Amino acid sequence: MKILLTGPTGFIGSAFARLASRRGHHVAGLIIPSEHVPAGASAHQNPVWLRGTLEQAPWPEIRTFGPEMCVHTAWITAPGIYLESPENERFRDASLHFLRKVAESGARHILSLGTCIEYQITEQALAEDTTPISPSTTYARCKNELRLALETESKARGFGFCWGRVFYPYGPGEHPSRLCSAIIQKLLRGEKVTLKTPASTKDYIYIDDLAAALLAVVETRFEGVVNFGTGTGTTVRSIAEIIGKLMQKSELVEEASEPDRDPFPYVVADATRIKSLGWKPNFTLQDGLRHLLDARRGAA
């Protein structure tokens, strides 16, 4: 299959590109002019690298490539910034314009990534058809507005559309400020780790498992909304305990005497739908954290 991919150098996009290429799909990655082609990738014809942005895409090259499918992963994701950044509105508008033109260029299916925090957060697993939508951040609001617009576009223009709500990916290649990497880096330096929200429970999905879930949607041409999560919740406390044991530094992990309030205390997917497409996670949390630890040690 010919797949046009946005965000091919990002955490999620790069993992998807590697897996899709290994599976024999032809991937064209839209890479912004200021970025370097990932190390080792230039020696291969797959992926094909197309220079441009969502606002100024290389449309002649895209039409020559002739994508059957577009996987849209590009967005602002910098920790500490992305939730309320005004850049979210730019990405919403640019994404809608870009994906309209992709459909006009012949792509018959679009997979675009949303976020689990579009949902109203409760003490229950979050399900695509029954959990209310109630975005409380600029990031989640703009993602949800893009979904609504693309659902309308898909009906009007006749292309297949899937909206994938991503839960909490982790693994090699993640931003160093993300939870798992931040804990590892502190322990590598021999510093204490103080858990500010130890009971906070999230659905952590290893990056290679997430890439496989995306590919399951692509290969089945699934239409509708789907959660990209494992269905299993894990506390921050458990994450830190596993990492501490793997590094033999459990004594450096402690909990804050007065924990902070987490606005999203329990965010776990109902994973029934993605598993119905033949997907299942291949990595346990301990295995995934071990791979991340090895990668962080190698980069130290």
Residue type, 33: P
* Domains of the chain, residue spans: 2-169+206-228, 170-202+233-268+282-299
CATH placement of domain 2-169+206-228: 3.40.50.720
Determine the Cα–Cα distance for residues 234 and 280; give it in Å rounded to an integer: 17
User: Mind listing the pLDDT tens digit for each residue in 88-134?
Assistant: 999 999 999 999 999 999 999 999 999 999 999 999 999 999 999 99
pLDDT over threshold 70, residue 300: no
Average pLDDT score over residue span 27-44: 76
C-alpha dihedral (237, 180, 285, 141), degrees to nearest 10: 90
Residue type, 91: F
Average pLDDT score over residue span 16-43: 84
Give pLDDT, residue 271. 98
Residue type, 99: L
User: Mind listing the pLDDT tens digit for each residue in 185-240?
Assistant: 999 999 999 999 999 999 999 999 999 999 999 999 999 999 999 999 999 999 99
| Residues in Cβ contact with 245 at an 8 Å cutoff, skipping those fewer than 6 apart | none
Average pLDDT score over residue span 272-288: 97
Quick check: 151 and 145 in contact, CB under 8 A? Answer: no
Give pLDDT, residue 44. 46
Q: Is 7 left (phi over 0), alpha (psi -120 to 50) or beta?
A: left
Give pLDDT, residue 35. 85
**How far, rounded to the nearest angstrom, does the alpha carbon of residue 148 sit from its chain's CA centroid?**
19
pLDDT over threshold 70, residue 40: no
Confidence of residue 26 (pLDDT cuts 50, 70, 90): very high
The pTM for the full model equals: 0.96
| Residues in Cβ contact with 152 at an 8 Å cutoff, skipping those fewer than 6 apart | none
Confidence of residue 39 (pLDDT cuts 50, 70, 90): low
The CATH class that applies to domain 170-202+233-268+282-299 reads alpha beta
- What is the DSSP pairing of strand 26-31 with strand 266-267? unpaired
Domains 2-169+206-228 and 170-202+233-268+282-299 share a fold: no
User: Mind listing the pLDDT tens digit for each residue in 134-156?
Assistant: 999 999 999 999 999 999 999 99
Give pLDDT, residue 41. 52
Give pLDDT, residue 37. 79
